[in-house]
Amino acid sequence: MPTALVTGASRGLGAVFADRLARRGIDLVLVARDRAGLERTAATVRGHGAVAEVLVADLADPAARAAVELRLSDADRPVDMLVNNAGFEVSDEFVNSELRDLQTQIDTNISAVMSLTHSALPGMIARGSGSVINVASFAGYLPSPGSSYASTKAWVLAFTDTMAASLAGSGVGMIALCPGRMLTGKHKAPDSPSPLWLEPTTVVEQCLRDLGRGRTLCTPGWIYRTVVGTLEMPRRSLRAAAKLAGRGRTQQRPKADAQGDTQSFTRSPSLNGVA
């Protein structure tokens, strides 16, 4: 069976990703700092008949992160899907935050996403199949004043946007998941139902559907989707104009292979069958 590696899998959205992927017959590599939480998620995965491998690691620690990078680059145990879900949020405004907390936020939300993706992509490209899901946030579009967390999620959105364009025709897909408020237990839920609050299972299923359709951005919830669609409209127009001018970002570019030769990716937006 195919294998997916999910970071931040001990609880919340990461645990939901693990559950839904296991239901689809996908084996899991579960990564987080909390071993007890990982074991709970692993039990759920195994209950669906899938294999669950537990890998305890603090992704803000370069040495611990290296073990996850090694697992992703292991050609003998290929990972078909990477879900960069782990996140760290400094809730205080920037000027009131501790510098060490801000650095942990960058290491978790930016450095880990970059390094894990860098470890996973070469093998996926060589195999001609695979997918990467980067969990961003609606805050990356409309941040609250002084939010350093929102800045890191804006980076995730920009990173996914450019990397997905460079992967066109490789058989590897990449998508940014941009959810708003979710009922994960992290925040106090509203007393009455509200379209601003999303069910994690619905968020994950929408993301997997959009990934399978070859999309590069998933914004669950009609309110969030409407706002993001409006904000993205100028960018879409610029891309359309660039494509008409023959300068689109998905145009073929020579790529160097392991022997130093060059090759070009085709433009077919194929994805593997994982999603």
Give SS3 for 23: helix
Question: Alpha-carbon dihedral of residues 65, 67, 124, 267, nearest 10 degrees?
Answer: 10
Return d(Cα 143, Cα 174) in angstroms, integer.
24
246: DSSP letter:
T
224 is catalytic: no
Of 138, 141, 149, 159, which one is the catalytic site residue?
149
Residue with tokens 């130093």: 260
Return d(Cα 252, Cα 262) in angstroms, integer.
12
Return d(Cα 85, Cα 62) in angstroms, integer.
17
- 74: its two tokens: 């292991």
Q: Which ranges of the chain would DSSP assign to H, the alpha helix?
A: 12-23, 35-47, 62-72, 99-106, 112-127, 148-166, 200-212, 222-244
In angstroms, the Cα distances linking 248 to 75, 167, 168 are 33, 13, 11
The residues that bridge with 264 in the sheet, in sequence order, are 254
Active-site residues, by number, are 149
